[in-house]
Each structure stands twice: as C-alpha cells, then as structure tokens.
Amino acid sequence: MKQVRITVAAMTMVAILLGGGCRRAATQEEGFAVMGTYASVVAGGGEGPPVAGDARICEEKMLENDSPLSLFRTDSELCRLDARSGPGPVRAGRHLQANLELALRFGTLTGGAFDVTVGPLVKMWGFSGGQTPAERVSRDRIEEALRRVGYSRIRLQGGEVCLEATNMVVDLGGIAKGYAVDVCCDELRRRGARNFLINLGGNMRCFGRPESTRPWQIGVRNPFQQAQIIGKVDLEDGVAVATSGNYERFVVIEGKRYAHIIDPRTGFPVEGMAGVTVLAATAAEADALSTSLFVLGMKEGVKVVAAITNGAAVFIPDRKPLEVWVVPAITNVFRAGAGIVPQIIVTAH
C-alpha cells in the first residue's frame, strides 16, 4: 500500500539522519491513520521550538479538511454537489472552492489529462468505491461515462459551484491529500514550528531541516522492486513532493492489471508509466502534478512541469530494464543510487 511505501521511504531517510547524528535525537516521527491512508509528522531537531502535539493538530486539520471533500461520506459537500449535478448550484466552502480552483487550473494546463470530473470512469474501473468489473469495460459503457466527464462543465462563481450535466461525479482523489498537507503546514507554521515534514499517503511537504547540518531528504522507490531506492532528493525549505505509481492501487481484470489513474481523454486506465515523482512549491500542486504527468507521459509532461513554480520530475516508464528520466531542474537535488544512470529529458524550445 502506498502509505507503507512512502512512510518507509521517509523513515529510511530519517533513519539515516538519526544514524549520522548521534549527538541527540535529530527527529521525532508520529503517525496516524486518516483519509483512508496513513499520515505522519516528523519534527526536526534543528533550531526553533518544536510544536507540542503537532501530529494531533495535523490529524484534526486533515479530518476537518476531509469531511467536505470526501466521496466516502454521503453528507460531504462533495457528495451533495455530485447529487445536485445538472440542476445545481450548491454553496462551496473554502476548502472545496480552493480544490476546485486548482483542479480547473490543472485541467486547462494539461488539456484535460488532469480532470476531477473523471469520477464516473474511476468508479466504472473499480476505484473510489466502485466494484471491480468482471470483464474489461466495454467501449459503449466508456462512451456513456465520457459524456459526463469534462472539467469545463464545472462552474465556480461567487462561492457557488454547479456541475452542468446530470450524473457527473467529481473525484478529488488526485488533489485533496496534497491540499490537506498544505493546510497542516500553514497551521504548524502559524503555531511557530520551523523544522518539520508532513506526509499524507505519499504527499509530503517539509520546512527547515531535520538538523542544522542536513536538508530533509526522501528516497524515490523502484516501482519494479519496491525495497530498492533508485535515488534520493534533497528538499529545500517549503518544497513539496508527490508520487503517482501503477504498482499499489490497481485492479486485475481478466488477468490484466489496470492502474487507478484514468486517461479522461480515452476513458481507459493509463498504461506506459510505472512511477512519477514530482517537486512543486505546494503539496496541492505536487499532488495534481504527479497525477497529471502520469497521464501525459514524459514528452507532454515536461511542458507542464515547466509551467509550475519550482516544478521538477522524475519519470520511470513501465518497461524493463529500468529507465530513470529526469528534468534538468531536478539534477542539482537528485542523487541517483548505485548503478542508476538517469537520462536527462531535453526539451526543444
């Protein structure tokens, strides 16, 4: 499961930090289950006061954030919005508004590869509460679902939101966890914390340093051999990281694996990409960006990376032998593991 993967990745790095600095405990990690996944807060031991009860504060904030945005709570603002799709509009609280604003920005930026109205397809393929289909979904069913997909049919105005077709389903699974991490970071900083890392199901953001001599560092997993780390990334103050992969959440239909990220332009689960790890200035952007790049692939994806403030990416295509492709912007903070030779994606200007 993803939470295990990323937590272990973070802890592996933290363990290295602890091992290197026996002067005092450099970091303290506290984890909890929330939003259908696992979260943790790692407090650094550098200068600045730690915040007492920071994990509890984050847990509260994540729950507060989840209640309006969850597809799994029938009384959530999101479910009310989906239920009123067609007639609309419904009032949107600030968290739903902020998520939708960012979702629309990524919808435009990616030409619809990132599309939060992909919900009917996500469910049809057996994710986000849908039943795993017994056989490959037929073209007819996909055509029908596609008629209800399209981010441009979300109307957001003056605190109200409307879905312009009936039976649309907005699924914020590709963005809401990152957004919640940002909310928590803001809260901890408001309370005076300066050195910490928050991880929510693989969506991470860090501030300060774990100890004065080192930056926060995370490991990028090998999607084909998840115990192996293919490289490490040093994270500067405020940087967010997210990973989208095909190896943790998937269904098997007629013996074939289908990943949980759907290409809204075709209606089919994405093939060809094993993992994408991204950096961005906020965790919400990183979350949306990793899902976007997973759909777009390298060639189209690099253009989107270039449009994001402090955007960077590591792509691992779904083919063997292992290939690791990086954008130039990440080369100064990415250190490849032994035997890994990253290829730099050169883009034409």
Positions that interact with ligand ADP (CB under 6 A): 2, 114-116, 118, 122, 127-128, 171, 173-174, 201-202, 244, 249, 260-262, 264, 287, 290-291, 294-295
**Alpha carbon separation from 204 to 108, 112, 199 (Å, rounded):** 25, 25, 4
Nearest to 118 by CA among 91, 138, 148: 148
Nearest to 49 by CA among 189, 182, 149: 189
CB of 273 to ligand ADP, least distance (A): 11
Q: List the beta bridge partners of residue 275.
A: 245, 316
Residue 264 binding result from Mg ion, ligand ADP, none, given CB thresholds of 5 to 8 Å by partner type: ligand ADP
CB of 136 to ligand ADP, least distance (A): 18
Residue 127 or 334 with smaller CB distance to ligand ADP: 127
Using CA atoms, how far apart are residues 297 and 130, in angstroms rounded to an integer?
26
CB of 276 to ligand ADP, least distance (A): 8
Using CA atoms, how far apart are residues 154 and 85, in angstroms rounded to an integer?
10
Residue 8 or 336 with smaller CB distance to ligand ADP: 8
Burial status of residue 208 (CB atoms within 10 A of its CB: 0-12, 13-18, 19 or more)? buried
Residue 195 binding result from ligand ADP, Mg ion, none, given CB thresholds of 5 to 8 Å by partner type: none
CB of 211 to ligand ADP, least distance (A): 29
Nearest to 78 by CA among 184, 173, 210, 199: 173
Residue 17 or 293 with smaller CB distance to Mg ion: 293
Range 323-342, binding Mg ion (CB under 5 A): none
Residue 11 or 204 with smaller CB distance to ligand ADP: 204
Task: Pick the piece of the chain touching Mg ion (CB under 5 A) from 37-45, 50-58, 288-296, 301-309.
Answer: 288-296
Residue 54 or 287 with smaller CB distance to Mg ion: 287
Residue 110 or 291 with smaller CB distance to Mg ion: 291
β 225-235/216-222 pair status? antiparallel
Is there a contact between 316 and 207 (Cβ–Cβ < 8 Å)? no
- DSSP 3-state of 43: strand
Beta carbons within 10 angstroms of residue 53's beta carbon = 13
Residue 127 binding result from ligand ADP, Mg ion, none, given CB thresholds of 5 to 8 Å by partner type: ligand ADP
Residue 173 binding result from Mg ion, ligand ADP, none, given CB thresholds of 5 to 8 Å by partner type: ligand ADP
CB of 60 to Mg ion, least distance (A): 23
Structure tokens at 37: 């996944």
**Alpha carbon separation from 194 to 268, 288, 331 (Å, rounded):** 43, 26, 26
Range 289-318, binding Mg ion (CB under 5 A): 290-291
Query: Which of 278, 287, 315, 327 is in the footprint of Mg ion by CB under 5 A?
Result: 287
Q: Is 115 in the site for Mg ion (CB under 5 A)?
A: no
CB of 96 to ligand ADP, least distance (A): 15
Beta carbons within 10 angstroms of residue 133's beta carbon = 16
Instruction: List residues binding Mg ion (CB under 5 A).
Output: 174, 287, 290-291
